Amino acid sequence: MRKRDCSSSSAILASLCLSLWTLFVGCDTNTSITDDSLSNVSSVNVSQSAQSFDNPSPPHNKTVSELEKNKQRWLEKGITDYDVTASMYRGGESRWAEPVLIKVRNGEVVATECLDERSLKLGMSCDGWMDGYIKVNTVERMFEFLQKGYDDGATVDVKYDQEFGYPKNLTVNFETKGSDNWETLIVRKFVVSKDASR
Mean pLDDT, range 113-120, rounded to an integer: 85
Q: Give the C-alpha separation, 187 to 100, whole Å.
A: 10
Q: Which residue has the higher pLDDT, 26 or 176?
A: 176
CB 154 within 8 A of CB 172: yes
Global pTM value: 0.66
Averaged pLDDT of the chain: 75
Residue 59's φ and ψ, nearest 5 degrees, are: -70, 145
pLDDT at 181: 83
Mean pLDDT, range 69-92, rounded to an integer: 95
Q: Give the C-alpha separation, 149 to 145, whole Å.
A: 6
pLDDT at 32: 46
3 state SS of 66? helix
Q: With 60 as the cut, is the pLDDT of residue 48 above it?
A: no
Per-residue pLDDT tens for 128-162? 788 889 999 999 999 999 999 999 999 999 999 99
Mean pLDDT, range 39-65, rounded to an integer: 46
Q: Which residue has the higher pLDDT, 50 or 13?
A: 13
Confidence category of residue 95, pLDDT binned at 50, 70, 90: confident
Confidence category of residue 91, pLDDT binned at 50, 70, 90: confident
Q: How many Cα neighbours within 13 Å face the side chain of 26?
A: 0
The full set of domain ranges for the chain reads 3-54, 61-192
CB 87 within 8 A of CB 99: yes
3 state SS of 78? coil
Q: Which residue has the higher pLDDT, 124 or 174?
A: 174
Point out which residues pair with 89 in neighbouring strands.
184
